[in-house]
Amino acid sequence: MNRRSGAGTPVDEVLAIRGLHVELAGRRVVDGVDLRVAAGEMVGLLGPNGAGKTTMLRAVLGLLKRSGSVAVSGRPIGKARDLVGYVPQRHEFSWDFPISIENAVMTGRVARIGWFRRPGVTDFRAVHEAIDRVRLADLAKRPVGELSGGQRQRVLVARALALNPELLLLDEPFTGLDVPTQELLTGLFAELAAEGRAIVMTTHDLYSAALECSRLCLLDRRILIDGEPAEVLNSVHWRRLFGARVLLPGVAADVAASPAGDPRGIA
């Protein structure tokens, strides 16, 4: 990893985005985004519908035509795809395909195995460790078409974790989940950040983002503000995009009162 220095303290820079631009159908959807994320950071990417959040993640992965540069642990994304775990929105996966949880999670290893090679012992070990982390070990042979919404989301997370990634990109991971599943994944993401993974998460769950993320970025085609949760939630950009009717001033106050470095440490 690259060693960077900020405020006199060396950090591991996992994700470095510089001058990211994306056009779709002749419209600039992402406009000059710069973002750096260090190991152990959980960054919440917030913004209204159409702000470019999903487009930005897909461009980082190289799934969309873009300009600008994206590097992961000092390597261009084209040479570092096996360092990135991606959790898409649930509707992007073909749940009616006749495949088990185990095999679905194994597809997450393709970036490392290759398209025309058979998985080996290391691959099966990584898959079962990932399935175990999302607490689906007892269902590993079950067809994905028989799963509940929460179980399906856990499969997508396990699929991303099967790569043992340095960077984890999460696109709306909490949408439509029951409370126990949301709590399970929230705890898992905190564990992964504590292990040194860099996490970037788009979400409409503003309350959880404010409490769980170490940084928030407010996006509206470009990043309007990038800072600690209380700073972002109290910014003029927040009020302009979401208005005074968003009932989050208490969240900002709670976060501001939390111990330094632990946005979840609320009395």
Tell me, what's the pLDDT at 1? Answer: 36
Which CATH number do you get for residue 93? 3.40.50.300
**pLDDT, tens only, 213-226:** 999 999 999 999 99
How does strand 167-171 pair with strand 2-6?
unpaired
Average pLDDT of the chain, as a whole number: 84
Instruction: Point out the least confidently predicted range of 61-75, 115-129, 175-189, 193-207.
Output: 115-129
Tell me, what's the pLDDT at 245? Answer: 45
Tell me, what's the pLDDT at 238? Answer: 79
Tell me, what's the pLDDT at 241? Answer: 80
Cα dihedral 74, 76, 79, 80 sign: positive
Q: Of 61, 76, 70, 84, which Cα lies nearest the Cα of 34?
A: 70
- Say if 129 falls within a structural domain: no
- Say if 182 falls within a structural domain: yes
Q: What percent of the chain has pLDDT over 90?
A: 58
Average pLDDT of 98-103?
93
List residues bridging with 201 in a β-sheet.
Answer: 44, 170
Report the side by side order of strands in the sheet with 222-227: 84-87, 167-171, 198-202, 42-46, 215-220, 222-227
**pLDDT, tens only, 28-48:** 999 999 999 999 999 999 988
Q: Give the domain range for residue 25.
A: 2-97+166-256
**Residue in the structure block whose two tokens are 């290893």:** 109
**pLDDT, tens only, 120-172:** 899 999 999 999 999 999 999 999 999 999 999 999 999 999 999 999 999 99
Q: Is the pLDDT of residue 91 over 50?
A: yes
- Say if 69 falls within a structural domain: yes
> Phi-psi bin for 48: left (phi > 0), alpha (psi -120 to 50), beta?
beta
- Say if 122 falls within a structural domain: no
- Say if 138 falls within a structural domain: no
Average pLDDT of 45-72?
92
Token representation of residue 244: 């005074």
Residue type, 113: I
Token representation of residue 238: 């927040």
- Say if 6 falls within a structural domain: yes
Give the Cα separation of 267 and 264 in Å (integer).
Answer: 9
Give the Cα separation of 168 and 134 in Å (integer).
Answer: 15
Alpha helix segments (H runs only) across 107-148: 110-113, 121-133
Q: Say if CB 53 and CB 45 are below 8 A apart.
A: yes
Q: Is the pLDDT of residue 71 over 60?
A: yes
- Say if 156 falls within a structural domain: no
Q: Of 2, 182, 172, which Cα lies nearest the Cα of 80?
A: 2
Count of the separate structural domains present in the chain: 1
- Say if 140 falls within a structural domain: no
| pTM of the full structure | 0.84
Residue type, 87: V
Helix axes 179-194 and 149-161, enclosed angle (nearest 10): 10
Three-state DSSP class for 44? strand
Give the Cα separation of 95 and 16 in Å (integer).
Answer: 33
